Amino acid sequence: MERDERIDTAIVQLVSFLASQEKPSGLICETDDANAAASHGYATWFLARAHLLRGEGLVKFTEIESAASALTSIQHLDGGWGRSLDVRAPSDLSNTVCVMMALSTCRRCGIAVSETIWNGCEEFITRCECDDGGFSILASPQRDGGVASAAHGAVGLSLLERDRDQRLQRCFEYLSIYGSNATDQASAPFQLYGDFYMSHVIQYAPKEQRLRWSETTVATLLRSQEANGAWIDPAGEEFGTALAVLVLSSIK
């Protein structure tokens, strides 16, 4: 079997698996999953991207519509999304930005996402924004989450419209100061996760910063690859390796 054929087969099998996991509520996750919102967010994001790339023959518009509807139905009262499906629970920046990227891709498929949803996102992102341009994972209590949180915040800002350029500039100024700081303890365990989100927003940074980030990231990833070819991450080797490959493939 040729490489492209194997990839196509794997994508079709993954789409079939996700379809088999859909619950009556439209959620593509186990409701008792500690990371249910993120699980459904990533599943929705993948399905929407697959629809954009391969069309109706692979993923039907109605499937994307159902997944997006389920995603908006679990938006928390504070405007974001969190690990819990309880809408009264506090949201966090990581889950919120994951869902925002999924919904943004759904909109590119032609699915309407109400302004009320996006207004809630903006309010939550704003409450996580620190005075120095960095971001806190939680809106309250607010605590600078380091480089990885700032990368999440930058992606969130890039998906908004109000004062986007000015706020992104402040965030990139923060990242230019702390982005190469090896003693950033807050981000150290989540380096790959931060790099993954940076790869989605680095095009908004000044050219010199883009080149510096690309060179540093490639060097760091190549240096940290294990002898078995994997990358280590708190969520497991499979997750870490997938993130590293996605980051490397995004760097031209």
Predicted confidence (pLDDT) per residue in 235-245, tens digit: 888 888 988 99
What percent of the chain has a predicted confidence (pLDDT) above 90? 46
pLDDT of residue 235: 81
Cα Rg of the chain (Å, integer): 18
Domains of the chain: which residue ranges? 3-189
**Burial (Cβ within 10 Å: 0-12, 13-18, ≥19) of residue 122:** buried
Banded model confidence at residue 185, pLDDT cuts 50, 70, 90: very low
> What's the rounded Cα separation, in Å, for the pair 252 and 242?
18
Statement: residue 181 has pLDDT above 80? no
Statement: residue 1 has pLDDT above 70? no
Classified by CATH at the fold level, domain 3-189 comes out as: Glycosyltransferase (1.50.10)
DSSP H helices, 74-162, are 93-108, 115-128, 146-158
Banded model confidence at residue 76, pLDDT cuts 50, 70, 90: very high
Using CA atoms in the order 153, 155, 158, 161, what is the torsion angle rounded to 10 degrees?
-50
Average of pLDDT values for 209-233? 91
Give φ, ψ of 129 to 5 degrees.
-75, 125
**Distance, C-alpha 220 to centroid of its chain:** 21
Higher pLDDT among residues 157 and 141, named by residue: 157
pLDDT of residue 116: 96
pLDDT of residue 182: 41
DSSP, res 88: T
Higher pLDDT among residues 181 and 11, named by residue: 11
Average of pLDDT values for 35-49? 88
pLDDT of residue 57: 85
Average of pLDDT values for 101-125? 95
